[in-house]
Amino acid sequence: MSDDQSGTRSWRLYIRDMIEFGERVLSYTDGMDQSAFVADRRTYDATLRNIELFGEAATHVPAQIRERYSDIEWRSIVGARNRLAHGYLGIDDDVVWDIVQTAVPQMLPKLRRVLDTDRAT
């Protein structure tokens, strides 16, 4: 059920993708402190990639859904994705760690609520 008959992917699937990418970020970094995270290049790179994918999926959520769920910081999510994808020389480890420790854990329950409360759309 990834696409409807017209070949258009449902926005709900992008929300599910965001949840999956966020869960991966938390799984990859579970039990780590910031210094261990930064030192483990494979985990660091995998985490960055999933944060980017998280933001990319957010770009496909329609404006009316974003407006309905304005408590989700859509612009910040997309902005973080753009900074990570295009500003590789200027990635701030403190900002990435804050995304991992604060933003993603705060975002996941909100995204789950979107799926739970907006079943008809």
Residue 67 has pLDDT above 90, yes or no: yes
For residue 86, what pLDDT is reported?
84
What percentage of residues in the chain have a pLDDT greater than 70?
A: 91
Q: Model pTM greater than 0.85?
A: yes
- The residues spanned by each domain of the chain are 11-117
Task: Decide: residue 49, CB within 10 A, 0-12 exposed, 13-18 middle, 19+ buried.
Answer: middle
Task: Tokens for 43, please give them.
Answer: 């985990």
Structural tokens at position 32: 């780590």
Neighbouring C-beta atoms of residue 99, cutoff 10 Å: 23
Query: 72-103: per-residue pLDDT in tens?
Result: 999 999 999 988 888 767 899 999 999 999 99
Assigned token pair, 106: 């705060």
